[in-house]
Amino acid sequence: MSVAPPLLAVEGLTKSYGGIHAVRGVSFSLRSGEILALIGPNGAGKSTCFDMLNGQNKPDSGHVRLLGEEITGKKPREVWRMGVGRTFQITATFATMTVRENVQVALISHGKQLFNLFGSAPNFDRGEAGRLLELVGMGGYADRPCGELAYGDLKRLELAVALANQPRLLLMDEPTAGMAPRERVDLMRLTAQIAREKSIGVLFTEHDMDVVFEHADRIIVLNRGTLIAEGSPAEVRSNPQVQAVYLGEGLLYDAEHREGASA
């Protein structure tokens, strides 16, 4: 039987730093239009896992495939060309350029005009840049220097930049970190809406459980480098292992023993 490959397929991803196994044999997959949350306590290996998905970090072993195509070992810029947009935990934007110019840079790169020496960049795809900014609610800010923006607006700008190459997959590392509660809800609602409309798969890490349970279609839980649970928000919420990880030491001990016995 032949089934179309999932949008993102992760198989046996493993990474150690010295003697520490940051990520051990993590496997999961993601469909187009699905919003998947990657959660876990501090030090669970979320960021390491995340960085291996777009080439920021190289796994020791395992595979990451996008629609069946291998992306393991590729550079971040090559992964981007395959249609993977990314936002960072601490926003990374072009601080001396205006909001519109930030988006235009991504559009220029998408249009493969990076080495065009004599074209006019201020007029480059101005309409599309405007549309993307409207989409994330930043239309009125186009001419602002990016360095002047409030943090929540920077996050929104990052989203617009990440959408510039019409990605199939969005990777968002703690998209709402550092934002006010109301802004968090707004940003995630917006992301979810865009993802469904454009049928983009979204993988995000998050510490705020309200955001996770409200917006994720499915959740995977990482603890000490291994995947301990996977399922719908309701399933994950009632999973005893997850509760152990999040709720207390005694339970955690118990949970680990059970995990050890089953392995």
Partner 1 sequence: MAFYVVQFLTGLASAASLFLVASGLSIIFGVTRIVNFAHGAFYMIGAYIAFTLTERLSGAVGFWGAIVLAALAVALIGVLVEMVLLRRIYHAPELFQLLATFGLTLMVEDLVVLIWGPDDLVGRRAPGFRGAIDFFGQNIPSYDLFLIVLSPVVLGILWLLFQRTRWGVLVRAATQDRDMVAALGVNQKWLFTSVFAVGVFLAALGGALQIPRDAVHHAMDLRIIVEVFVVVVIGGLGSIVGAFVAAVLVSELNAFGILIFPKISIILVFLVMAVVLIVRPWGLFGKPEAAARKTPGLTVNPWRPLTSNERLAALAALVVAATLPLFAGNYALTVGSEIAIFVIFAVSLHFLMSVGGLASFGHAAYFGLGAYGIAFLAKMAGLPMIVCLLLGPLLGCMGAAVFGFFAVQLSGVYFAMLTLAFAQIVWSIAFQWVSVTGGDNGILGVWPEKWAASPSNFYWLALGVAALVTIALRAMVFSPFGYALRATRDSLLRSEAVGINAKRIQWTAFVIAGTTAGIGGALFAYLKGSVFPDNLGISLSVDALVMVLLGGVETVSGAVIGAIVYKALNIWLVSQTDLSKLVLGGFIVLIVVVFPKGIVGMLEMLAQRRRKASPPGSPLIAKPIESAE
| Residues at the site binding partner 1, with contacts judged by CB under 8 A | 54, 75-78, 80-81, 86, 88, 92-98, 101, 104-106, 108-110, 113-122, 124, 137, 140-141, 143-148, 150, 152, 161, 164-165, 180-183
Q: End-to-end CA distance of the chain, in Å?
A: 30
CB of 228 to partner 1, least distance (A): 30
Shortest spacing between CB 89 and partner 1, in angstroms: 11
Per DSSP, 125 falls in state T
Candidates 80, 85, 87; CA nearest to 112 is: 80
Output 78 or 235, the one with its CB closest to partner 1: 78
Are 177 and 155 in contact, with CB atoms under 8 Å apart? Answer: no
Q: Which is nearer to partner 1, 58 or 75 (CB)?
A: 75
**Is the CB of 113 or the CB of 238 nearer to partner 1?**
113
Closest separation in Å from C-beta 55 to partner 1: 9
Cα 21 to Cα 75, 134, 203: the distances in Å are 23, 43, 22
Which residues share a beta bridge with 85?
170
Residue 260 Cβ vs partner 1, minimum distance, rounded to whole Å: 37
- CA distances from residue 182 to 21, 89, 167, 261 in whole angstroms, order as listed: 37, 18, 27, 44
The residue among 15 and 100 lying less far from partner 1, judged by its C-beta, is 100
